[in-house]
Structure 1
Amino acid sequence: HRNPAGAASRWPARLSDAAPATRVEPTSPIKGVVTAPSTTLVLATANPNKVAELVELLADLPVDVVGRPDYVAEVEETGTTFAANADLKAVAVARAVGCWALADDSGFETDALDGVPGVRSARFAADLMASGDLTDADLVASTASTTLPRTTAAGPDTVDEANRRALAVMLGRRPNDVDRARFRCALSLADPAGDVRLRSEGVVEGRVITAGRGTLGFGYDPMFVPDDGDGATFAEMSRSAKAAISHRGRALAALVEAMESTGWPGGSDTRE
């Protein structure tokens, strides 16, 4: 995916809306490290949904945006925070391919469950099954979040569906009136040497519902109603409407503005 240099940027306008929920952190100057591979930005994820979102959101940068090559092994996410996991992935992929790498680590947090699923969002059902806190029967019985992809009589037929059902089960075990929730995204940008140069974070607040709605998006999207929307879940929004207010869109808006201010990938960074 290649974008022309000098193309008009849409990021500052989006950033003005996203600013209250974003943070960007320069970790070290970018100057002096731009080499030939700088025209390629590798996304340190194999998740096709995330790749599609990130490619669209990065459309204004004059770089080739590509997904993680098949020969690069999946990075084990051993960090206890989203930022730590994003760093791990960005560093590993940048070193493996010798190009700039952008890593995303994101997840869903619910106040009723003290922030769970959090950093284990992608493995929530599997973790609960492994610990014995959830059974196949629990998942089959949970029909609260049955949204597309369709489920089968034998149980959920996708990891996303299993995670949604698991969350509905766990929320049901702790009945209360607390429905506050949020999506959080951490991004890390590493240079070809594997040094993290920029980090950003985006958060979108809202509420969790156990009866999922919508067939778009992925992950916990059918179960989240953002405060900044019109009452629709993320899974009921078009990709562009979601990107304008989402955690990933906000984090990337902040990161891209910082990248553009340095002249990346071909300019210099004069900040100390």
Structure 2
Amino acid sequence: MTKSFVFVTGNANKLREVQQILQAGDSGISCTSQSVDVPELQGTTQEVAIAKVKAAAEKIGGPCVTEDTALCFDALNGLPGPYIKDFMGAVGHDGLNKMLVGFNNTKATALCTFAYSAGPGSEPILFEGRTEGNIVPARGGPGFGWDPTFQPVESNGLTYAEMRAEDKNKISHRYRALEKLKTYLQAQA
């Protein structure tokens, strides 16, 4: 039995990665996408994810999944965190590195949070995935978001942008969160 969900995103790169991961695992789970304008709130990654999926479920009128990504620098006590999109827009890849000048710590955690709602009024369920790494000078082309500046610990010295998509999708924060969501959805089928 194939299980499907509506992935609320207007980001073609996120959709592509999610679909690649779902297809690679032969999970019997697929997704369609719908772009819905939901407020971008401030708060912890969990607070942001819960508010976003609740708003999306109300607008769609049914079950849906949202995704939020954070990039948390150890030296900055977790910042930029869920605000990485705004930081990237303001300072770019080079600016992410400059933010760490004066610190002896380039460690960072890539964090993905998928939020699932069974529909309007339902309590959201969160699925988080983490990948540990370091912030490095941009390598590997423009990539997706901050991929050129994030070098996972388990990547043999490559940034996400330098990795083949199928290799990235085996260790990424998004993969790890999506695996948890897939397990949940398969149990519900």
- What is residue 42 of structure 1 aligned with on the other side? 6
Percent sequence identity over aligned pairs: 31
Deviations 1:16-56 (A, max 9, x none): xxxxxxxxxxxxxxxxxxxxxxx652212211111111122
Residue type at the aligned position of 1:233: T
Give the alignment partner of residue 82 of structure 1, picking from 35, 40, 45: 45
Q: Determine if contact 2:29/2:182 at 8 Å carries over to the other structure.
A: no
Q: Which has the larger radius of gyration?
A: 1
Alignment CA distance shift 1:58-1:90 (3 Å): farther
- What is residue 68 of structure 1 aligned with on the other side? 34
Alignment CA distance shift 1:256-1:213 (3 Å): same
Does residue 127 of structure 2 align to residue 163 of structure 1? Answer: no
Q: Determine if contact 2:100/2:106 at 8 Å carries over to the other structure.
A: no
Q: Determine if contact 1:180/1:206 at 8 Å carries over to the other structure.
A: yes
- What is residue 219 of structure 1 aligned with on the other side? 145
CA distance in 2, matches of 1:97, 1:250: 26
More strand by share: 2
CA distance in 1, matches of 2:39, 2:79: 20
Give the alignment partner of residue 130 of structure 2, picking from 194, 203, 210: 203
For residue 63 of structure 1, report the CA deviation from its aligned partner.
5.5
Alignment CA distance shift 1:64-1:179 (3 Å): closer
Taking only aligned residues, the RMSD between alpha carbons, in angstroms, comes to 2.1
Deviations 1:67-88 (A, max 9, x none): 224xx32x22224111221222
Q: Give the structure-2-normalised TM-score.
A: 0.88
Q: Give the structure-1-normalised TM-score.
A: 0.63
Q: Determine if contact 1:198/1:255 at 8 Å carries over to the other structure.
A: no
Give the count of matched residue pairs: 187
User: Which runs of structure 2 are paired with 1:239-254 in the superposition (5 Å)?
Assistant: 239-254=165-180
CA distance in 2, matches of 1:64, 1:97: 18
Deviations 1:150-194 (A, max 9, x none): xxxxxxxxx3x843232123223xx13211111011111011324
Alignment CA distance shift 1:47-1:221 (3 Å): same
Structure 1: unaligned runs, 5 residues or longer: 7-38, 126-158, 264-272
For residue 61 of structure 1, report the CA deviation from its aligned partner.
5.0
Structure 2: unaligned runs, 5 residues or longer: none
Alignment CA distance shift 1:255-1:40 (3 Å): closer
Residue type at the aligned position of 1:53: E
Give the alignment partner of residue 102 of structure 1, picking from 57, 61, 65: 65
What secondary structure does 1:55 align onto?
Answer: helix
